[in-house]
Structure formats: structure tokens, C-alpha cells
Structure 1
């Protein structure tokens, strides 16, 4: 179906344009005669949000410690939440850990299998972000197999083990981690001791998996880098972006050589980090953050961009790449993140009458209206019904 979206303000390459936007099939097209008219009066038309790090789906699987729901049910519900919040591409951050329970290798296997089966039926373009805990040595072989999936997953190196043992930023979460794993604190600590005893094998495992990822063309990220030295180390392994660096000088080291720095949008919305990490809003203002992700809260990418804009539409135009074009670039998705002709038709229509509380009115993924909270023309509901057939 061809669409003509008119009367809105469309963000194209950092500028607001008033002319109509045309969609033909899954892509953005030049003017089309006879296209179905879609009235976007009073709305902003923005490139869809590309979320390259989000694990809020875990709360759909386990909303309370020990209370577990079916993975398919969780993914279907997550999908509805994604598109309702303007996220048109999502990389689900599934952790592959040495822990039992929610982040176990078995849970990851079930998640990957279910997502693979469901993916073509989901409204959001949903992909994998494999968060491999680097001390999960026995799981490295399975992670290497998953790197060959299509579409290619992102691989992130995570080390929450060292912080737990050395009483760094993670240590205070031991009780929460034990509860998540379904074991007592004492049993968790005993398991942690056994895992820590294999620490000398970790560097070689990281290097081996990084080599596999480079050979297959997967995007590599390094999570929670604690120093410029760690940034240098992971850069050499092929991780060209720093994901959630723990220190200001680490972010500065990445940006000094033009690398992307990825932080959480909830940090911006809340006015700071919940665990004492970098202030993402300050990092954006200092050009030390180039990508914002949902992290643990799907509404936050939309709200973060508007929060940083402070009611200024021109500023919003300059900030929107943080949640769309830049993460698309990091994920090597050249077909989305902007509303130029020829790009994939992933876009959202936003009511910004109250810029402190923007509302997604409609979400379009690959030319399909997958979410709408009000009729945009007289025939919209029948169009949606037709599209669902």
C-alpha cells in the first residue's frame, strides 16, 4: 500500500520539513499519485527509534523474583510495548551468564529459540544483543554458534563478576543477584568463588570469541569499561564503541578518537544514574555520549530526547540522532535512522503539544502501521484491519 503523510512536521537530516512524506511498500519514496492520504496535522514525524541495548523484557519474563512467565507471552507483550513507545528496531539484550535462573545459559537458549520462531510475526524489527558474561567460560561455544544467526546479533562483553568479587560497583547488588538466580546468598557466594577461581582463562576466551565475531561480521561492544586502558584493550579486539563506560575519562578516551559512547536513556529521564555511574544528560551536553538506549525502560529513549530538548524543536532535531540515526549506524543498519527517500519506512508520529510528555500517536515499521492510538484519517481503522488480514 502507498501512503501520503501530510500536514505534519517531518524531521529530515536535522531540519523540519512541511511537505508530504510518501511511503511505497516498505520504503520511503518520491511523490506517488493515488497514495492513501494520512493526515498528521499537529504531529511531528520522526525516524523510528533504534534501541540497541534493552533488557526490560526480563520483567515480562520474571516480574517478581521467582515468578516466571512463558517466554512467548513475554515477547509478545514486550513487542506491543516497544511499538507503543516508538521503538521500530530493538536489540533485546539477553544475558548469557554462569548464574542459574533468569540469566542462565538455559534461559538464554529458550529466549533465543523463542525469538527466532516469533521474529517474523512481531511488529517491531526485533534482533539479538548477546550480553556474554566473560566468566561464563562454558557458554562461549554456544555464543559463538549464535553469532552465525541471521540477522547477525550484536555481541557485548560483560564482566559483572570482577566487580562482585572485588566489591566494586556490582558488589552491593549481590542480594538482588542471588534472588534473581533463585538461590540463597550463601550459595550464590559459593558459586561466585568457583567461577572466580577460573579467572586466568577469561582473557583467552574473550580473545577467541572476539575473533569469531570479527570473522562473522558481528558488531562488538564492550560493556562497563572502567578505564581508558580497558577501552584500548577492547578497541584492539574490534569493539569500536564503548557501552556504558563507568568513568568520565573512559568516555573521553573513546570520543577523542571518534568512537561512539552508549549510555542509558533512563539516566537522562531520571536526572542521573541510579547506580552512581556517569550522568548521561551531562555526557550528551559535553559531546561524550552519542547513543541513548532504553536499558531497562522502553519509554525512556523518546522521553530522553524531548527532555534534553527542553521544549525547543530545533534542539530536538539535533538531538534525535541519539536515539535513531546514531544507534542505527553503530548497529550497521544503513537502511534506517533517517527519513530520506530510499530509506526503510520506519517512523513515528508524535503529539508534542506538551513537550515534557510527548505521546506516540502512530508507529510505522517497514511501511506497515503497527500501532495507532487514534484515527489519522477517516479510513484508518479499516486500513489497519486490511493490513492485518
Structure 2
């Protein structure tokens, strides 16, 4: 396959020309246009490396499209996969929450069903994108470590994150925002919410520290990338670095983000934070971290299209120093390096032909075609 007349977004520069693929790999790049009759004409659009998503819980909304509605697993996975690939995402880490403590939610009920569906569909080769597992470990829970040890052996786990959503810290330093969020999410009244807060706080005091140390050590032994979650202080960042974390997921303050970045962690923020202009929880805006030069990776989190939208917005902001190549690296090359996946993440000879053809449309890039390992999947 030859793709020509494209602006190839490479690691450090944009080159207009052509690209050749054989047996799923990029074998040649050229700064000239191909005259081969079978060449795909990109009409001057951008050719990007396939995007790599480290943290998305998008699958949940397909398993439970409405409260108390359970959708068939195969159909849910196919719909989720199609949405990811149409957003230009060719490698997906599906985030599965374990150790969740509220029985009113659906995550616990869906846990094994979702995990089995992700692993089984990938093994059968029916997915358009390549799907792996991201185990999100809620630390203030008696069963979290045991559940982790069971699930980590069941599929291709590429990342583990350490979460603690206890009120008054990290994501929810503002307890009022905590109450607003969970009362709205689970329909709790004031008395139920007060009981829920007390239970969370007590569980965190009993289990969080032991679970954090156990799961971090287990992930290190297995060579699985480890991520902190919602670090809010310099002390949090230093603790995460000492545990061996490679990624700082969604730090909530500039201080925590800077400390994480300085300690060698890759600072990851949500694409929706960029697109919406701020955090829905009232925490630090991702654009502010971009201005500080400490934004390393973007994640679509709960909205797949936000990954490419956010990268393109970062590249076009006037108050930071990220050009288009650097912005696209945040959703491709840097995530690949973080996971130790040297076979993908950039347009380079020898790399997998995971490619996205996209053109500017108003203030975003519109995905036109997608290839994974040289096979067109969108």
C-alpha cells in the first residue's frame, strides 16, 4: 500500500510526501508524491500515527446504556470499538474499576463481564482497534488486593492505576463537590450521603496504604506500567515516584503536576478538560499545565473524540510552546514509550502501520480513514 499527497506528522516535523506499507509495517517514507496508479491520494490531509489511549471507561456506557439496563456483551464491545477506531484510536487501554465500594453502582456487577468480553474479543480478532486492560484499583476496600491478583492473570494488562476517592483529598479536596457528585450519581439523600462519606473515610484509613504498597510492588514485579491518580500535593507526587509510577494521571494542582514531571512521571490529563476549558471537578485546567510545559500525555477519559480534538487544540493555542508534532506525540509516541511498546506510536520506517488520515474541519481534525497494521479498519 502506498499513501501519497499527505502531510505526514512525524516525531519532530511535518513532511509532505508519500508512505509505503508492506506486511503491516511502514517500509519507506518519501518527500515526493507517488505516481503509482494504485496509490491512495490523501488530497493534502494530515497522516498521523494511530492514537494510543491509556485510560478510557467508555465501554461502561455501552454495557449499561441506561440505569438498570444491561446490554449484550458482544454488541456493547463492538459499538465501543467502532467509536474508538472512528476517533483515530488504534490502541486502547480499557479501564476496568475494581474494589469499587458502592453497591448502588454498576461497575462491580459489570466487572468480570467486561473483562471477559475485552479479552475474548481481542483473542478472537474481531476488534478493529487493539484492546488491552487498564486495572483501576480503588484502594480503600478490603478486597482490592485480592481482586487485583486474580484479574491481573486473566488478560493483557498494560497499566495499573492507584485510586483513592476518599472525601477531602485528591480529586475531592472540596468536600462539597464530593457530596454534589456522589449524591447526583447515586441518588443519595443527605443521611445516606453522610453515612457513605463516613464509610469511605474509615475504609481509606484501614486499607488504602497497605493496598497501595501491595499493588505497586506486584505491578513492578510483572513489568506493568503503574500510574498514580489525582495526586494533589508535592508529597503525593513524591510518594508516587517512590512507588515506581510511570504516569501521573490527572493531577489536581499545578504543584503536583510540576513535582510529578520533575520526578520523571509522564503527566496525563483528560482531553475533555482541554475541550471544555477546565475540570468538571473544579481542579486544575489542563491548558494551564500546557502553558507550564508539564503536560505530557492526553487521555480521552469518557469521550473518545476528545483525544484528537484536544491534541489539535493544544497545538493551536497561542500561549504554550506545543507545535502539532509535539501535541500528536502526546497521544501516540509518548504513551507508546510509557508502555514500552516500541513497535508503534510514530510514523517511522519499521513501525506498525497504525495510521490515521485526517483533515482540518473548523477547529478540529476530522478522521477520514484509519489503518491498523496496514489493514483499513475505518
TM-score by length of 2: 0.88
Q: Does 1:99 align with 2:109?
A: no
**CA separation in 2, counterparts of 1:292 and 1:177?**
25
Deviates further, 64-73 or 291-300 = 64-73
SS in 1 for 2:143: helix
Q: CA deviation at 1:261?
A: 0.4
Q: Residue 15 of structure 1 is aligned with which of 10, 13, 16?
A: 13
Contact map agreement 2:140 2:206 (CA 8 A) in 1: no
For residue 90 of structure 2, what is the aligned residue in structure 1? Answer: 88
Aligned position for 1:156: 161
Distance in 2 separating the partners of 1:306 and 1:167: 29
Aligned mates of 1:311, 1:237 — CA distance in 2: 34
Aligned counterpart in structure 1 of residue 28 of structure 2, from 27, 30, 34: 30
Task: Decide whether the 8 Å contact of 2:139 with 2:207 is kept in 1.
Answer: no
Work out whether 1:232 is the aligned partner of 2:261. Answer: no
State which of 147, 152, 166 in structure 1 corresponds to 2:152: 147
Shift, 1:315, TM fit: 2.4
Please give the alpha-carbon distance, in whole angstroms, between the structure 2 residues aligned to 1:128 and 1:296. Answer: 16
Change (3 A) 1:349 1:74: same
Q: What is aligned with 2:68?
A: 66
Partner of 2:41: 39
Q: Matched residues in 1 for 2:156 and 2:273: separation?
A: 29
Q: How far 1:110 sits from its partner (Å)?
A: 1.4
**What residue number does 1:122 align with?**
127
Is the aligned partner of 1:208 residue 2:214? yes
* Unaligned residue ranges in structure 1 (runs of 5+): 372-389
Most deviating of 141-150 and 121-130: 141-150
Confirm or deny that 1:344 pairs with 2:352: yes
Partner of 2:373: 366
Q: Is the 8 A contact 1:260 1:290 kept in 2?
A: yes
Please state whether the residue corresponding to 1:361 is helix, strand or coil.
Answer: strand
Cα contact 2:134–2:157 (8 A) shared by 1? no
Number of equivalences: 367
- Post-superposition shift, 1:73? 2.1
Q: What is the distance in 1 between the residues matched to 2:291 and 2:158?
A: 30
What SS does the aligned partner of 2:323 have? helix
The DSSP-based 3-state class of the residue aligned with 1:153 is strand
- Asked if structure 2 preserves the Cα contact closer than 8 Å seen for 1:53 and 1:295, the reply is yes
Instruction: Tell me if 1:251 matches 2:249.
Output: no
TM-aligned CA deviation for residue 182 of structure 1: 7.7
* CA 1:340–1:142: 2 relative to 1, 3 Å: same
Which residue is equivalent to 2:288?
Answer: 282
Kept in 1, the 8 Å contact 2:64–2:106? The answer is: no
> Are the counterparts in 2 of residues 105 and 139 from structure 1 also a CA contact under 8 Å?
no
8 Å CA contact 1:100, 1:182 repeated in 2? no
Q: Could you say if the C-alpha distance between residues 35 and 106 of structure 1 is closer, same or farther in structure 2, counting changes exceeding 3 Å?
A: farther
**CA-atom RMSD in angstroms:** 2.7
**Maintained 8 Å contact 1:46/1:347:** yes
Change (3 A) 1:180 1:315: same
Instruction: State the alpha-carbon separation in 2 of the partners of residues 178 and 9 from structure 1.
Output: 48
SS at match of 1:323: coil
- Quote how far apart the aligned CAs of 1:47 are: 0.7
Question: What is aligned with 2:138?
Answer: 133
Distance 1:98 1:303, change over 3 A: same
Matches of 1:107 and 1:164, distance apart in 2? 27
Residue 242, structure 1, aligned to residue 240, structure 2: no
Structure 2: segments with no counterpart, 5+ residues: none
Alignment correspondent of 2:81 = 79
